[in-house]
Amino acid sequence: MAKKNVKVLPAARQILDMNAFDAGAHTGALNPLLERRIANVGASAVLFYREPIEVVSASGSWMTAADGKRYLDFYNNVPSVGHTHPRVVAAVTDQIGRLNINTRYLNSVVDLYLDALKARFPASLSNVVLSCSGSEANDLALRIAAATSGGTGIIVSENAYHGNTSIISDISPSALKRRGLPDHVVTVAAPSNAGQSDSIENAFAADIKRAIAELGRRGHKLSAFICDSIFSSDGVYADPPGFLRKAIETVHKAGGLYIADEVQPGFARTGDAFWGFARHDVMPDVVTMGKPMGNGFPMAGLVTRPELLERFCEDTGYFSTFGGNPVAAAAGMAVLNVIDEEQLQENALRQGNHIKERLRDVAAKDDRIAEVRGAGLFLGIELCRSGKRDQPDAEVASSVINGLKDRGVLIGAAGKFGNTLKVRPPLSLSEEEADIFVDRLADTLSALPAA
Ligand code: PMP
């Protein structure tokens, strides 16, 4: 029987599969380096693009491929102060030539950095644990939450990604392929106004309340609500600032912790504030960070209140061989200094607003752009079937990504259906580079057949 007026949504997409190279679908000969990579890493290969790019060098907002082609990097939010920034390179080079050691020894480079990092947070978040990856930071955050709350239940957004350890994969719906979420994890929809009659703040708090009740029915007391403060993998949801307030109140009333995952939005990217949570005027119990922290030098960490860390450390010994090493601290310090001296937070706001304004003109002429969201240099461009805002179009997103790549611009996708373009260039972006992106996006869209 024909179904009338039934909206058929595409299947949800796994975050690591979006825009990925697919060896199975590849036709023709593999280039030798690609063949070698696949032979080396097997099923864990996560290469980008239908035809992966071999990159050999980078500077500022640009990466150069082995064939000499230059790409404007609008994807990579790790080299946030610009690829190979000379200040970061000099700091790392100097320190690795002097000493690199673990945190069982005193070293002033490390403590100068910890002081500088803590100065960016509310005073109550005065203990820092440094690690090597965002996953490790989130893993520790969950363990601190369990020790503090005595609970086991976790709330996450429905397409969240928080990392790759065992307990963190369990709270990363977008990384799970065949199995569903475990019993102690309940999801909430990303905070958007789609289909809501109430304010985003009220609707999101009501969702959190429902999730707490669901955990209760399953016999789990709330341990934590963890969210990426700009809901990156859910499709970039930033506005209106403050929409997290009531949700966090609800979490705290239920005895749970609020963990702010700043791995993507942190370190000035949103332009409005240094941290994504600060845009919402909320107070996290734990903040985790990573990616841009060392501008490519692998480092991550968390900040929390001393009593929470004490409670966890009473039960469990915790040490990391590489976490908090002086070379990482030197990289991290250079990043903080460059953000300040080059006024990159202000630049992120200025260039982000410029891109948003120009994208409004593009959207006015192309009804496949459903919405442009985001803050500073973290924007999401949601794509849909022509004029049908409720019909996500991941195919057009994929064609735009590959079309932009041909035109020398690198960009990725996010969102439950993989139909939101993620715009995350270095914070040092110039207006000229911002315009190159918008012009090439408009060219790419106009070269695609109407959907
Ligand atoms: N949290 C978020 C929001 C992330 O995007 C990521 C990485 N994509 C992580 C945590 C995990 O960080 P890492 O890959 O450094 O372990």
> Does 173 sit behind a cis peptide bond, omega within 30 degrees of 0 on the bond before it?
no
The answer on 360 and 327 residing in a single domain is no
> From atom 2 of ligand 1, which residue's Cα is the shortest distance away?
162
> From atom 1 of ligand 1, which residue's Cα is the shortest distance away?
162
Which pLDDT tens digit goes with each residue over 169-187?
999 999 998 889 999 999 9
The answer on 420 and 350 residing in a single domain is yes
| Residue-level pLDDT at 6 | 46
The answer on 386 and 260 residing in a single domain is no
| Residue-level pLDDT at 11 | 65
Considering the domain boundaries, does residue 3 fall inside one? no
Report the percentage of the chain scoring pLDDT > 90.
Answer: 85
Q: Beta strand 286-289 with 300-304: parallel, antiparallel or unpaired?
A: antiparallel
Point out the least confidently predicted range of 10-14, 356-360, 408-412: 10-14
The answer on 372 and 311 residing in a single domain is no
Query: Does ligand 1 have an atom closer than 6 angstroms to the CB of 139?
Result: no
Which two three-digit tokens encode residue 113?
Answer: 């950095």
Domain boundary among 341, 368, 386: 341
Please enumerate in sequence order all residues whose Cβ is within 8 A of that of 84, keeping only pairs 6 or more positions apart, or say none: 57, 58, 59
Cβ density class 236-266: b for 16+ within 10 Å, e for less = bbbeebebbebbbebbbebebbbbbbbbbbb
The answer on 326 and 315 residing in a single domain is yes
Query: Does ligand 1 have an atom closer than 6 angstroms to the CB of 234?
Result: no
The answer on 278 and 196 residing in a single domain is yes
Strand arrangement, sheet containing 222-228: 127-131, 300-304, 286-289, 257-261, 222-228, 153-157, 185-188
Contact 129, 318 (CB under 8 A): yes
pLDDT-based confidence at 7, cuts 50/70/90? Answer: low
Considering the domain boundaries, does residue 236 fall inside one? yes
CATH label of the domain that carries residue 120:
3.40.640.10
Query: Does ligand 1 have an atom closer than 6 angstroms to the CB of 265?
Result: no
Average pLDDT, the chain: 93
Distance 137 CA to ligand 1 centre (A): 9
- Answer whether residue 9 shows pLDDT above 70: no
Point out the least confidently predicted range of 189-198, 213-222, 289-298: 189-198
Distance 234 CA to ligand 1 centre (A): 14
The answer on 311 and 226 residing in a single domain is yes
| Residue-level pLDDT at 249 | 98
Please enumerate in sequence order all residues whose Cβ is within 8 A of that of 89, keeping only pairs 6 or more positions apart, or say none: none
Point out the least confidently predicted range of 18-32, 103-117, 325-339, 431-445: 18-32
Query: Does ligand 1 have an atom closer than 6 angstroms to the CB of 133?
Result: yes
Distance 163 CA to ligand 1 centre (A): 5
CATH label of the domain that carries residue 395:
3.90.1150.10
Which pLDDT tens digit goes with each residue over 238-259?
999 999 999 999 999 999 999 9
Q: Measure Cα distances from 66 to 93, 150, 220 in Å.
A: 25, 53, 53
The answer on 424 and 290 residing in a single domain is no
Query: Does ligand 1 have an atom closer than 6 angstroms to the CB of 345?
Result: no
| Residue-level pLDDT at 451 | 60
Facing residues of 228 across strands?
Answer: 261
Mean pLDDT of 125-145: 98
For a mutational test of ligand 1's pocket, the pick from 169, 170, 264, i.e. the residue with the most ligand atoms closer than 8 A to its C-beta, is 264
**Distance (Å, rounded) from C-alpha 364 to C-alpha 358?**
10
What range does the domain containing 417 cover? Answer: 15-81+344-447
Mean pLDDT of 399-410: 96
Of 393, 412, 394, the closest CA to residue 404 belongs to 412
**Distance (Å, rounded) from C-alpha 427 to C-alpha 429?**
5
Please enumerate in sequence order all residues whose Cβ is within 8 A of that of 283, keeping only pairs 6 or more positions apart, or say none: 122, 124, 248, 258
Which two three-digit tokens encode residue 82?
Answer: 């610009």
Considering the domain boundaries, does residue 129 fall inside one? yes
Q: How many domains does the chain have?
A: 2
Domain boundary among 314, 341, 368: 341
Closest ligand 1 atom, CA of 136?
16
Considering the domain boundaries, does residue 4 fall inside one? no
Contact 287, 176 (CB under 8 A): no
| Residue-level pLDDT at 442 | 97
- Answer whether residue 17 shows pLDDT above 70: no
Point out the least confidently predicted range of 24-38, 118-132, 356-370: 24-38
Mean pLDDT of 275-286: 98
Domain boundary among 291, 319, 341: 341
| Residue-level pLDDT at 224 | 98
pLDDT-based confidence at 16, cuts 50/70/90? Answer: low
Report the percentage of the chain scoring pLDDT > 70.
Answer: 94
| Residue-level pLDDT at 5 | 44
| Residue-level pLDDT at 19 | 67
Facing residues of 304 across strands?
Answer: 127, 286
Distance 298 CA to ligand 1 centre (A): 12
**Distance (Å, rounded) from C-alpha 336 to C-alpha 399?**
37
Considering the domain boundaries, does residue 1 fall inside one? no
Residue pointed to by tokens 């749970």:
256
Mean pLDDT of 93-113: 97
For a mutational test of ligand 1's pocket, the pick from 78, 161, 378, i.e. the residue with the most ligand atoms closer than 8 A to its C-beta, is 161
Which two three-digit tokens encode residue 89?
Answer: 């390179």
Query: Does ligand 1 have an atom closer than 6 angstroms to the CB of 378?
Result: no
Distance 253 CA to ligand 1 centre (A): 28
